Amino acid sequence: MAKPQVIEDRELEHMLKATAAYSRVRERDTALLLTLYGTALAVTELASITVSDYLNADGTIKATSAVRVAVAHNGEARPLYWSNKRVSAALDAYLLWRVANGQCITTKRGAYRGLDPDSPIFLTEAGHPYGLTKRVLPSGVLSYSCNALGAHITRLHANAGIEGGSAQSARRTFATKLHRKGYDLRHIAAILGVKSVTTAKRLVDGDPVRLADIVARAL
């Protein structure tokens, strides 16, 4: 099966500009893309992380949070870092938009910036959580998917002319960029929430930039 494509910086910037220009909820979609590419969360995780996974009760950002067991795509908790200022700025703008539009707000004035701490960060245009679909694999393991959010992310790529782009592209892009910068596969695997270095290696193998560099040096 073909690997998800790697989205280069210029393509991501173009997609963000296109999203800001044409999205019906540009604050949400900009925050969604930056969170996706800045944290490498899986689709079901993006659909499930809550306001309290991002904010403390006093409204400050949690520098270090966690992808909880109930949220993690592999059922194993791992650290979640909100240290990227561009990601947090986009999330802050979206949460302000949510408050202004009355999406899952709370009566506890001042707490969690006026938002319901248990509400998912990312909501549909109508202000509802994205639904998860549960199925039992032949092995007996429970598996969850979020087709609506996954399809929406794919559309954001397609609207920017990035055919074949998806949430999986973001995870591979995240891993590939870290690998280019010299980070070891063990740390990359830990951030992605994959169980083995081999899985992380499969994501970065065939890096198109490195392959192009090899060809460029052929003569």
Region of 78 on the Ramachandran plot (φ > 0 left; ψ -120 to 50 alpha; else beta): beta
CA distance 24 to 35: 18
Per-residue b/e over 72-107, b at no fewer than 16 CB within 10 Å?
Answer: bbeeeebebebeeeebbebbbebbeebeeeebbbbe
> What phi, psi does 144 have (nearest 5°)?
-120, 150
Domains of the chain as residue ranges with CATH: 9-165 (1.10.443.10)
DSSP-assigned letter for residue 140: S
Two tokens, residue 138: 């032949």
User: Is the pTM here over 0.85, yes or no?
Assistant: yes
Average pLDDT, consecutive stretches of 10 residues, N- to C-terminus, the chain (219 residues): 85 98 97 96 96 97 92 88 96 98 87 96 96 80 86 97 93 90 88 83 77 50
